[in-house]
């Protein structure tokens, strides 16, 4: 690490965590919303096609680097249930809102996150770059957890149209922060989208293993862990020590 001019962060499992049962509650709210909109869907078969379609769209999105959206796989799952509805249908938009409303209640910043951000804020421009399909929900979560105000720029893949590890999103982060990519430290938990992505784009990645070390459910299960050349942190104190060390090395 050297000559750090700005710091960027991933969101999920880096700054905030989601309680494990949130996903199944979100699914329940989605199904309830669709039923209330008049779709007579059966819970188990719908859940199965939803999972299958979501996996298909997400896999394609990962291959192409282009972000997808929940409305596409909800529409595809409804079609499997015999209901042909455009992804742009307002009933689907409503179901998406109901789905994400669960996360507003069950997302929490990792302990000490606000303190960390407020102490870094005077020293570096700060950016947030998250892979999240539904931009408005990501912004709502950032607002409700009180984290939004610490950032000079907030970039959400669902709004950019592209997702990490695609280099374009890291280019945008560097432009928005007004700092060259080699001077940008990027902290994230996902070995592929965060660490490989930031590294390939020319940023300086730091691997946060807080979620892994605390046995929280991981979204990136399956990727190989980064090599030992990548700095690794398990707490915000570790990150502050890394940055202080960097400052001391730069001065001496």
Q: Which residues bind Mg ion (CB under 5 A)?
A: 10, 12-13, 189-190
Q: How far apart are CB 133 and Mg ion at their closest, in Å? A: 14
Q: How far apart are CB 11 and Mg ion at their closest, in Å? A: 6
Q: How far apart are CB 238 and Mg ion at their closest, in Å? A: 17
What whole-number distance in Å separates Cα of residue 42 and Cα of residue 31? 9
In the complex with Mg ion, the residue whose CB is nearer, 37 or 153, is 153
In the complex with Mg ion, the residue whose CB is nearer, 62 or 91, is 62
Q: How far apart are CB 220 and Mg ion at their closest, in Å? A: 7
In the complex with Mg ion, the residue whose CB is nearer, 49 or 194, is 194
In the complex with Mg ion, the residue whose CB is nearer, 10 or 140, is 10
What whole-number distance in Å separates Cα of residue 109 and Cα of residue 128? 14
What whole-number distance in Å separates Cα of residue 51 and Cα of residue 73? 9
Q: How far apart are CB 127 and Mg ion at their closest, in Å? A: 15
In the complex with Mg ion, the residue whose CB is nearer, 140 or 189, is 189
């Amino acid at each position: 690490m050297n000559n750090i001019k700005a710091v960027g962060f991933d969101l999920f499992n880096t700054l905030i965590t989601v309680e494990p049962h949130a996903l199944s509650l979100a699914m329940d709210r989605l199904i309830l919303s669709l039923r209330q909109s008049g779709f007579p869907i059966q819970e188990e078969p719908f859940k199965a096609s939803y999972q299958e379609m979501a996996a298909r769209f997400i896999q394609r999105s990962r291959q192409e680097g282009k972000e997808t959206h929940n409305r596409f796989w909800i529409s595809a799952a409804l079609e499997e249930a015999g209901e042909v509805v455009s992804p742009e249908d307002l009933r689907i938009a409503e179901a998406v809102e109901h789905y994400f409303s669960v996360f507003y209640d069950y997302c929490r910043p990792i302990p000490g996150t606000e303190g960390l951000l407020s102490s870094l804020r005077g020293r570096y421009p700060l950016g947030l770059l998250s892979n999240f399909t539904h931009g408005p929900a990501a912004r709502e979560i950032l607002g409700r957890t009180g984290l939004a105000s610490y950032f000079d720029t907030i970039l959400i893949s669902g709004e950019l149209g592209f997702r990490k590890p695609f280099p374009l999103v890291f280019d945008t982060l560097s432009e928005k922060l007004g700092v060259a990519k080699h001077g940008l430290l990027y902290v994230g938990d996902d070995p592929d989208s965060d660490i490989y992505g930031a590294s390939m784009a020319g940023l300086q990645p730091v691997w946060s293993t807080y979620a892994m070390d605390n046995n929280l459910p991981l979204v990136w299960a399956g990727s190989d862990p980064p090599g030992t050349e990548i700095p690794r942190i398990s707490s915000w104190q570790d990150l502050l020590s890394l940055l202080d060390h960097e400052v001391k090395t730069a001065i001496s």
